[in-house]
Structure 1
Amino acid sequence: MSTKPIFPGSTLGIIGINRNGGALISCAKKAGFNVGVYVDRAQPNITKMADFTLDGAYNDKEKLMQFGEACDAIIYQTPNIDSSVLRYLGQYAAIPQGINGLEIVQDRLMERAFLDQVNINIAPYVTVIGLDDVYQSIDSIGYPALLKPIQRGIGEQSMIIRRQSDITRAAEFIDTGTYLLESWIEHTHEYTMTAAVSGDDLQIFPVAELNYDDDRQLISAAAPAEVNDDMATEMRRIVKSVAASLQYTGVFSINFYVTSTGTLYVKNIELGLTSIANVYDSTTNVNQYEEQIRAVVGMPIHNITNLQSGLLMVVRNYQSRAIQRQWLLKDNWQFRFFNDVDGNDPQALLGFVWVTGEEDLQALQEQVDNTEVWNTKPAEPTTDEQADQGQSETNE
């Protein structure tokens, strides 16, 4: 990790972006940096604020070299960039976030070994390489179980095994390499704790509670969540332990499960910026983008203060008409919409809504529930639409 300060007027490169990348670019520009972006496919709606953009494959060494030589330092917004790409770029520019932490979180087996090493409670797991291993291991893991590839990355898939008959379907799922078979933790609550770290300097955002639908799509994040003192203390201990051992600089999050008996499990570590942590845009005095820039350029991390309670609501395509009505009505709601949404996908991410005010979280949730925007499901496709979708999938 680089300890050399990066001053305004320098060029900060960003590689590996998603829709949150626009907010990161804007924050870096506001801080006085020139910004270059490297993407593997054109995303002009996100990168238009950057000073320059390079489109190229992540294995195109000539373009990567061109990008590295044009930057003073390079950061990643999401952990989906292979660590070998950053090692190569490190020949030409500083990589202030470091690479060690990225290599750990990209490999589920390494991540779990790391969590074991720092005395953190995780779900039981075994490694498997074929169906025979799954059959032999499932009794020790129990049902339901999750089958996941060891390597994290874009486009990866996981499979849930609820009963023995499901294992036969894993024949198509398991391709080559090593997989992780992990117990599914039945839980009553899910939380995230986000922090920013730079050396010995650590600042922790208020804990956020997450709400998912039956398909495991995020509905909302609420902060600051109400957890008992003992659990909050343990969450903070875990965050501090990870920050002290991961050799990483910047913003990261730890996701938690809590069972009905109050047992706390760590689900995973996420490096970089997340959609969930957008809840702090309107609830704390500093957001994740500002803390990320401060950490990676060598500034002191800003002390975090909670200002108000708030909900971050995720808006999807099928909710567009309903949310437009609230856009005209709600004076305590803030909106961010994306203009590159796939209009044919009802589940595509349309934007975010921040619901804040003087009320507590329960009152804010009741306000949201009364609108019924998030209480309805997308309409089932007609026969013709189903046929079109099937034809499209066949053509692809």
Structure 2
Amino acid sequence: MSLELLPGSVIGILGDRSSSHYLIQTAHNLGYTVATYTDKIEPITPSEADYQFHGADEWATFVGISSVITYANTWLTLEMIQKIADLSLPQGINLLEMTDDHAISRAFLEASSVNILPYALATSLEEISINAHQLGYPVVVKPIFKHGPHSSRVILRGEYDLGLVAPLIDGGTILVESWLDDVTELIVTAVRDAQGEVVIYPINYRKSVDQLAPVLWSSTDQLSADVVEAVNDTVAQIGQNIASVGAYTVAFLYSDTGNLYVRDVLAGLDDNTVLYSTTANISVYENHLRALVGQALAPVREVQQAILLPFNSAQIDKIQNHWHIKPEWRVFYHPGNQSGYVVSSGRSMDELWNQLLIAGVWDISTLQP
């Protein structure tokens, strides 16, 4: 595949999440015209786009005007995936299918010879019970189709918990997977070009609290050289095995016994990419676009450390109270749902965590490692 699109060409962007907003800005900075499309009747696509299309009636016009089309969202509807399946996008749809289907992603990871947690597939409560016994408790049970970042799951710590999975059994396939309590979540984004070259961004820590957006922070000097090498080798290996051009993200679990597992491979531009806009010398958005238009990928290096914390509408007043006294903060705000992120950057992680604790916007005791 050879792509060479010079500035002035039209880049079509699917989706209307914050990642689309940042991608539009970056495309404009590079000299490209932008068209956006959402299948929603009432779109919330950022107004920075030069052309905006929405609804099935405008799909053909969007496709016709775009020199290349990319999806920024990690999650697309099944209808949208079906629409783009015949377009031969540089990104393809393989990553979208893996993002949405645990069975497809596990099969891909096994074929790529990367380390994953033991798992089994089931369709009934009896099969779940048998698989849980074979894998050993605790296990996590979840539908194979994710359909979003907060898909349903139940953790079983013994046979006495089997009743909890009843709401998940609907005749479809269920994933039963070993569960580790004492693990560290690591996440890495990389960009692959049409020639198969991969540039890898620094490793970040990730911590989820309930169903809230995750907290992310730099991992510099906190991981051994062996772990960093293993993570980067795995990300590169996955990059060689995917038929996709552009950004992808690999999520890991690192156990307290020193074992490293791949948890997921994600399509598009997820929340992790926001942090790199502060910690890396070049944003994921720019390298993603470079890959799509045939420009050489820029080498990546870390320039500073940072912590990303989400905020919601209830915390906006507290954020505003620090507006004039926090030079280390960058605020990314999404007016559509009155939420966003604060990215606090500097050279000392200890100082950054302490500053956030003093700010009093978040309960740092539940977030800090």
Give structure 1 stretches of 5+ with no counterpart.
Answer: 343-349, 378-396
Equivalence for 1:96:
90
Q: Distance in 2 between matches of 1:6 and 1:94?
A: 16
Equivalence for 1:228:
224
Equivalence for 1:64:
59
Equivalence for 2:258:
262
Which of 323, 331, 342 in structure 1 is aligned with 2:327? 331
Q: Distance in 2 between matches of 1:370 and 1:239?
A: 36
One-letter code of the match for 1:228? Answer: S
Q: CA deviation at 1:318?
A: 2.7
Q: Flag the 1:262–1:376 CA change in 2: closer, same or farther, 3 A.
A: closer
Confirm whether residue 340 of structure 1 aligns to residue 328 of structure 2: no
Q: Is the 8 A contact 2:116 2:262 kept in 1?
A: yes
Q: CA deviation at 1:68?
A: 1.5
The alignment of Structure 1 onto Structure 2 pairs a total of residues equal to: 362
Q: Distance in 2 between matches of 1:4 and 1:281?
A: 25
What does 1:44-55 correspond to in 2, within 5 Å?
A: 45-55=44-54
What does 1:161-240 correspond to in 2, within 5 Å?
A: 161-198=156-193, 199-213=195-209, 215-225=210-220, 226-240=222-236
Q: Distance in 2 between matches of 1:355 and 1:95?
A: 36
Q: Distance in 2 between matches of 1:276 and 1:208?
A: 8
Q: Distance in 2 between matches of 1:242 and 1:297?
A: 22
Q: CA deviation at 1:96?
A: 1.4
Which of 131, 136, 146 in structure 2 is aligned with 1:142? 136
SS at match of 2:323: helix
Equivalence for 2:26:
27
SS at match of 1:139: helix
One-letter code of the match for 1:151? Answer: F
Q: Is the 8 A contact 1:257 1:264 kept in 2?
A: yes
SS at match of 1:209: strand
SS at match of 1:327: coil
Q: CA deviation at 1:301?
A: 0.8
SS at match of 1:238: helix
Confirm whether residue 294 of structure 1 aligns to residue 284 of structure 2: no
SS at match of 2:235: helix
Quick check: 111-120 or 154-163, which moved more?
A: 154-163
Equivalence for 2:360:
372
Equivalence for 1:160:
155
Q: Distance in 1 between matches of 2:179 and 2:211?
A: 13
CA-based RMSD: 2.3
Q: Distance in 2 between matches of 1:111 and 1:150?
A: 10
One-letter code of the match for 2:129? Answer: Y
Confirm whether residue 351 of structure 1 aligns to residue 347 of structure 2: no
Which of 89, 109, 113 in structure 2 is aligned with 1:115? 109
Q: Flag the 1:212–1:123 CA change in 2: closer, same or farther, 3 A.
A: same
Q: CA deviation at 1:287?
A: 0.8
Please give the per-residue CA displacement for 1:98-157, whole angstroms capped at 9, x wherever unaligned. 233333443211211211122211111110112121122211233332222222323742
Q: Distance in 1 between matches of 2:310 and 2:273?
A: 12
Q: CA deviation at 1:86?
A: 5.0
Equivalence for 1:312:
308
One-letter code of the match for 1:13? Answer: G
One-letter code of the match for 2:350? Answer: Q
One-letter code of the match for 2:3? Answer: K
Q: CA deviation at 1:254?
A: 0.8
Confirm whether residue 151 of structure 1 aligns to residue 140 of structure 2: no
One-letter code of the match for 1:68? Answer: V
Q: Distance in 2 between matches of 1:258 and 1:17?
A: 33
One-letter code of the match for 1:110? Answer: I
Equivalence for 1:391:
none
Q: Distance in 2 between matches of 1:138 and 1:305?
A: 43
Higher relative contact order (CA 8 A, sep 6+): 2
Q: Is the 8 A contact 1:135 1:167 kept in 2?
A: yes
Q: Is the 8 A contact 1:64 1:89 kept in 2?
A: no
Percentage of pairs with the same residue = 27
Quick check: 5-14 or 237-246, which moved more?
A: 5-14
Q: CA deviation at 1:271?
A: 1.5
Q: Distance in 1 between matches of 2:44 and 2:325?
A: 28
TM-score, scaled relative to structure 1: 0.84
SS at match of 2:290: helix
TM-score, scaled relative to structure 2: 0.90
Q: CA deviation at 1:296?
A: 1.1
Q: Distance in 1 between matches of 2:157 and 2:355?
A: 36
One-letter code of the match for 2:115? Answer: N
SS at match of 1:307: coil
What does 1:274-293 correspond to in 2, within 5 Å?
A: 274-293=270-289
Q: Is the 8 A contact 2:98 2:266 kept in 1?
A: no
Which of 122, 125, 128 in structure 2 is aligned with 1:128? 122
Q: CA deviation at 1:88?
A: 4.4
Q: CA deviation at 1:90?
A: 6.2
